[in-house]
Amino acid sequence: MARHVQIFAHKGANRVAPENTLPAFAAALDMGVDGIELDTQCSRDGVLVVIHDFTVDHATNGQGRVADLTQAELARLDAGSHFAADFAGVSIPTLDEVFDLVGDRCRLNVEVKSMDPEGGPEADVLLAAIRRRNLYDQVIVSSFNPMTLIKLRWLEPRLALGVLHGKDLPPHLAAAWTGPVIRPEALHPHHTLVNAAYMDWAGSASCAVNTWTVNDVDEARRLADLGVATIITDAPDVLMAALAAV
């Protein structure tokens, strides 16, 4: 079948370079991906940096909470050696650095990492960057935190939003998260939740379905046949090749 689903690189091409780093994003661009998924949160001094965990312990040679470190302190950490010696000295990038690297070469799914019941400071900083660069048609913002999405929608009605979830949503949450307060453009479920009934529900809510993290070719084909809009994967080159086959 001809490929119609969009393929996004999960944290960049994280199998060939350390996740959420400029080399991983550059490798994904070289693969010709439709988009890149990445994670962002604020440093202590209010700069959006690109890292998945709320601490630096897993991804770097440092320790501590991202929110307790300044951007300069985060930039001095080694985020590459844990992956391979060739990446020693690779740093945690800022979101602006990623925007500079990507330019207009692909779409971006920016996941805001936040547990703040008031939505977090990331929303304001992210919106300023999107407005400054006029990235409305290129960026979709997702989060597991509905308060972050509510804040973003309130601040900027034009922004494309995606509701992230990894478990079945009970009816009251399904109605609330697709209702007029958030008005998401997309739902971002774990791929195991996606079936024909899920696709029907998403369609009734006028939401595209962008699913994660799909690394198996047969599963990717199943999801493509169901009509998902986007597959987020650790193996973008593999899935692009498989789904391009007739």
pLDDT for res 245? 72
Strands 208-211 and 230-233: parallel
What are the start-end ranges of the H helices in the chain? 22-31, 71-75, 95-102, 122-133, 146-155, 171-177, 196-204, 217-226, 236-244
Residue 1 predicted with pLDDT over 50: no
Neighbours of 46 (CB within 10 A): 12
For residue 238, name the pLDDT band (cuts at 50, 70, 90): very high
Domain range for 187 is 6-244
SS3 content of the chain, % helix, strand, coil (to 5): 35, 20, 45
Angle at 240 between CA 202 and CA 1, to 5 degrees: 70
**pLDDT (tens digit, 9 = 90+) per residue, 9-28?**
999 999 999 999 999 999 99
Q: Is residue 1 part of a domain?
A: no
Determine the Cα–Cα distance for residues 25 and 60; give it in Å rounded to an integer: 17
Mean pLDDT over residues 49-69, rounded?
98
Residue 100 lies in a domain: yes
Q: Cβ-count burial of 2 within 10 angstroms (0-12 exposed, 13-18 middle, 19+ buried)? A: exposed
Read off the pLDDT of each residue in 121-149 and give the average, rounded to a whole number: 98
CATH number, residue 150: 3.20.20.190
What pLDDT shows up at residue 146? 97
Q: What is the CA radius of gyration of the chain?
A: 17
Active-site pick, 4, 52, 58, 172? 52
What total number of domains does the chain contain? 1
Please tell me the predicted confidence (pLDDT) of residue 3: 61
The answer to whether residue 225 sits within a structural domain is yes
Q: Is residue 68 situated within a structural domain?
A: yes
Averaged pLDDT for residues 137-158: 98
- The yes-or-no answer on residue 165 being catalytic is no
Q: Is residue 165 part of a domain?
A: yes
229 domain residue, yes or no = yes
Express as a percent the part of the chain with pLDDT over 90. Answer: 97
> Is 105:29 a contact under the CB 8 Å cutoff?
yes
Q: Does 45 fall in a domain? A: yes
Residue 211 has pLDDT above 60, yes or no: yes
Is a pLDDT exceeding 80 seen at residue 153? Answer: yes
pTM: 0.97
- pLDDT band for position 2 (cuts 50, 70, 90): very low
The whole-chain average pLDDT of the chain stands at 97
Residue 54 vs residues 43, 60, 68, 95: alpha-carbon distances, Å: 10, 12, 10, 16
52 is a catalytic site residue: yes
> Is residue 155 in some structural domain?
yes
Task: Name the residue type at position 238.
Answer: V
